[in-house]
Structure formats: structure tokens, C-alpha cells
Amino acid sequence: MNNVIELTHPLIQHKISRLRSKTTGTSEFRALVEEIAMLMGYEALKDLPLVDVEVETPIEKCMTPVIAGKNLAVVPILRAGLGMVNGILNLVPTAKVGHIGLYRDEETHEPHEYYCKLPDPISERLIVVTDPMLATGGSGVAAVDFIKQHGGKKIKFMSIIAAPAGIERLMKAHPDIQLYVGHIDHKLNENAYICPGLGDAGDRIFGTK
């Protein structure tokens, strides 16, 4: 799939291995998620639009490119996607942040919405959705559905670990988006957790278990 980009950089792979270990504690886990998001963002934002502005160097005036400031919105899927936001904001501090609250039903594994607030106007922005885990893809599809219903058009989705089933479901529902993944794991278990994965990303970021 052309729109699925697996980021194979050794720094990303090394940090994902640290995330996977069950001995990695909350503060290191949180820091790693942010660092990985920043490294993934470096790649995912390589087509950010630029505008030329005039700058005076100590030598002379010149026209030189800067990021067109109002163009980016980061939209984490709560809770776990929040852990990736500062990684992107480190790269583009002027980005706006929207939030989509979803949790998976423990029995059906289907997502339930509890919050949605997006920056206005959303239609003109490049939107980067963040969620460390793409498992069945239900949450990802629902999040992109919401964003499109609110007028979002240019959407990139960043996931640290993805399962093949989730990738397929998301890209079948939304073939126009670009999906950036840090690693594609091999399967889901009977509770729809990614194997080998890293466990429950939200609980590990926020220390809730």
C-alpha cells in the first residue's frame, strides 16, 4: 500500500524496543513516546508548506523559507495519543491541537466517542492524528470519520505500532490518508491486543495500571 509508510530508522526501532520491555517504567515510557513522535514527525512533515519571507542577515536582506504557521493541527486520540503531541509540538510549536476522545469497549473492542474538539477552520489545515497503537483499526477509522465530518481534508495518521488488520481496516475506509507507522507487528490476540506490542499504551503512559 503506497500510503502506508513504515519508518525503519534505527533510532525509532531502538526506542520502540525500549517501549516494548515490561521493565520500562512510566517516566521513561512517556519520554520515549514523545521522542519517537518527534522522529516520526520529522519524516511525516517533510511536505509541510513553506512561504518565503524577507530576513535581514548581518550581511544583507534575502528572501528565505519559513513554515506557513497556521497550517498544522495535531489531533491526538485520547488518551494514549496525547503522549505523542509534544513530540510534534517540539517541531512545530505554532501547531493547533484538537482532541478526539475514544475508548474501546472491552467486550466488542469497538470504539466509543466521549469528546471531540477540533481547531477551526479545520478544512485548510494539514491534520496529523496521533495514536501509538493501531490494533483493530476501529478507533482510527472513527477518528478520521469525525475529522472528515468536521471538514478535514488533508490527513496523516501516526501510529508507533500497528497490526496488519488495523492497517487494512483504516486504509480501506480512508484510502486518501497517509499512514506513518514505526513498526508493523504480526497479529492481534483474542483480546484485540497487538502481539508482541507493548501492552496498553494509555495505561503505560499515564501509570494507571
- Exactly one of 94, 108, 176, 208 is catalytic; name it: 108
Nearest to 150 by CA among 127, 134, 130: 127
Nearest to 192 by CA among 200, 184, 180: 200
193 makes contact with ligand URA (CB under 6 A): yes
User: Of residues 41, 137, 182, 197, which one binds ligand PRP by CB under 6 A?
Assistant: 137
User: Of residues 76, 83, 111, 197, which one binds ligand PRP by CB under 6 A?
Assistant: 111
Stretch that binds ligand URA, among 71-79, 87-95, 117-125, 196-204 (CB under 6 A): 196-204
202 makes contact with Mg ion (CB under 5 A): yes
135 makes contact with ligand URA (CB under 6 A): yes
CB of 106 to Mg ion, least distance (A): 10
For 81-118, letters b (16+ CB in 10 Å) and e give bbbbbbbbbebbeebbbbbbbbebeeeeeebeeeebeb
d(CA 167, CA 145): 15
Contact 147, 118 (CB under 8 A): yes
197 makes contact with ligand URA (CB under 6 A): yes
Q: Is 108 one of the catalytic residues?
A: yes
- Binding-site residues from annotation for uracil: 194, 199-201
